[in-house]
Amino acid sequence: MSIDFQMDAQGVVTLSLDAPGQTINTMDAAFRASIAAVADRLEAERAQLRGVIIVSRKKTFFAGGDLDELRSIPADGAEAFFQMVETMKRHMRRIETLGVPVVACLNGAALGGGWEVALIAHHRIALDKDKRQFGLPEVSWGLLPGAGGISKMVRLLGLQAAFPYILESQQFSAREGMAAGLIHALAQDEADMLAQAQAYIAAHPASRQPWDEDGYKLPGGAPNHPKVAQMLSVAPAALYEKTRGNYPAPERALAAMVEGAQVDFSTALRIESRYFTELCVGQVAKNMIGTLFFSMNEIKAGASRPAGFDKCTVQKIGVLGAGMMGAGIAWAAASRGVRVVLKDVDLSAAERGKAYSAKLLAKQVEKGRKTQAEADAVLARIQTTASLPELAGCEIVIEAVFENRELKAQVTREVEAVLGAEALFASNTSTLPISELAAASQRPANFIGLHFFSPVDKMQLVEIIRGQRTSPASLARAYDFVQQIGKTPIVVNDGRGFFTSRVFGSYVNEGMAMLGEGIPPAMIEAAGLQAGMPVGPLAVTDEVSLSLCAHIAAEARAALGSAYLAHPADAVLARMLDEFGRQGRAAGGGFYDYPEGAKKQLWPGLAAFAQAGKALPAMQELIDRLLFVQALDTARCFDEGVLESERDANVGALLGIGFPAWTGGTAQFLKQYGVAKAIARAEQLAAQHGARFAVPNWLRQQA
Ligand code: NAD
What is the per-residue pLDDT across 322-364, written as a single tens digit (0 to 9) for each? 999 999 999 999 999 999 999 999 999 999 999 999 999 999 9
222 Cα–ligand 1 center, Å: 56
End-to-end CA distance of the chain: 43
In contact, 164 and 228? CB cutoff 8 Å: no
Residue 326 Cα: closest atom of ligand 1: 26
CATH fold label, 501-702: N-(1-d-carboxylethyl)-l-norvaline Dehydrogenase; domain 2 (1.10.1040)
Closest alpha carbon to 313 in 481, 490, 445, 542: 481
651 Cα–ligand 1 center, Å: 25
pLDDT tens track for 371-380: 999 999 999 9
CATH architecture of 316-496: 3-Layer(aba) Sandwich (3.40)
CA distance 90 to 273: 11
Q: Whose CA is nearest to atom 22 of ligand 1?
A: 321
Q: Residue 556 — very low, low, confident or very high, per pLDDT cuts 50/70/90? A: confident
Single-letter amino acid, residue 516: G
How big is the chain by its Cα radius of gyration, in Å? 28
pLDDT of 130 above 90: no
Share of the chain above pLDDT 70, in %: 100
Of 391, 430, 436, the residue with max ligand 1 atoms within 8 A of its CB, to mutate for a pocket test, comes to 430
For residues 383-396, give the mean pLDDT: 97
- What residues are in contact with ligand 1 under a 6 Å CB criterion? 320-326, 343-345, 349, 400-403, 407, 411, 428-430, 451-452, 454
326 Cα–ligand 1 center, Å: 7
Helices (H), 438-491: 472-484
CA 484 vs. chain centroid, Å, equals 18
User: Cα separations (Å) of 84 from 188, 276, 277, 328, 360?
Assistant: 38, 12, 10, 49, 49
pLDDT tens track for 235-254: 999 999 999 999 999 999 99
User: Cα separations (Å) of 371 from 314, 375, 380, 382, 609?
Assistant: 25, 6, 14, 18, 55
- Average of per-residue pLDDT values in the chain: 96
Helices (H), 121-247: 149-157, 159-167, 174-180, 190-203, 226-243
pLDDT of 562 above 90: no
Closest alpha carbon to 693 in 501, 510, 423: 510
320 Cα–ligand 1 center, Å: 8
ipTM reported for the complex, 2 dp: 0.98
CATH architecture of 3-281: Alpha-Beta Complex (3.90)
CA distance 473 to 307: 9
Domains 316-496 and 501-702 share a fold: no
Kindly list the domain boundaries of the chain, sorted by start residue.
3-281, 316-496, 501-702
pLDDT at 369: 86
pLDDT at 555: 84
In contact, 100 and 51? CB cutoff 8 Å: yes
399 Cα–ligand 1 center, Å: 8
